[in-house]
Amino acid sequence: MTNNLGAGTAVTVVMPTYNEAANLPRMAEAVLQLPLDGLHLKIVDDSSPDGTGRIADELAEKYNTTGRRRMSVLHRTEKDGLGRAYAAGMSLALDEGAEYVVQMDADGSHPVEAVPRMLGTALANGVGLVIGSRYVEGGSLDEDWGAHRVLLSRFANRYARTVLGTRIRDITAGFNLWSAQALRDIDLATLDSAGYSFQVELKYKAVRAGHSAVEIPIRFEERTEGVSKMTLKTQLESAVVPIRLRMKNR
């Protein structure tokens, strides 16, 4: 199935994985069924001990039988943070000619069906960044999120927005579509953050580089398989990074 939205536009979905064997097959199928002609799925696996990397290779072989390379896998030998995994996958996507790059988690929390809407928003508005936002009108969180997680998420966003002086309401969001030019202007090789705070640093640097951001509402779902990768270390990094960025860019 195809449509005219972004016809011929090269879009790469970058999806880092670590122990996502239970989620990856359905996520790959959902992404590759999207009605976008130029879509490519790139898995970035950090040597998952549960065999996610092997499953990714098998899925790539399955989906590439049509004569078109629709899926690829980047195998990394060490687990050194979500930010590093994303940067590696996004850099490779740019080298391969992607015009837009989508960040998407492999746990099913991000609504796959929103990708065409994000691309349409970017093309219609000529912006460098479209954010799948939980905190604009129409956005929501899964009811299974505990009150403490909701409060922590809202506080983290308010804290980062205040420290950095930005209007982006969901600056910690992990579901984003970037133009290739925005990512080149940021220079992924210069990013400092290794963990979840990568999301904040990337958006902040994009806005400082002159790129506009548009937030569209999404519903953020709770994962049904596997466990969260959030640790105390990544939470502490998320608290320090906004201050570090503000100090560097006074």
Q: Is the pLDDT of residue 2 over 50?
A: no
- Tell me the chain's radius of gyration from C-alpha atoms: 17
Domains annotated for the chain, with CATH where assigned, are: 11-249 (3.90.550.10)
Portion of the chain with pLDDT greater than 90, in percent: 64
The pLDDT-based confidence of 1 (bands split at 50, 70, 90) is very low
CB 158, CB 164: distance < 8 Å: no
Angle of helix 24-32 versus helix 52-63 axis, rounded to 10 = 30
Q: Which of 51, 21, 10 is nearest to 227 (CA)?
A: 21
Structure-token match 């970058």, residue found: 14
pLDDT in tens, 112-131: 999 999 999 999 999 999 99
Q: Is the pLDDT of residue 67 over 90?
A: no
Whole-angstrom distance, CA of residue 101 vs CA of residue 89: 10
CB atoms within 10 A of CB 151: 11
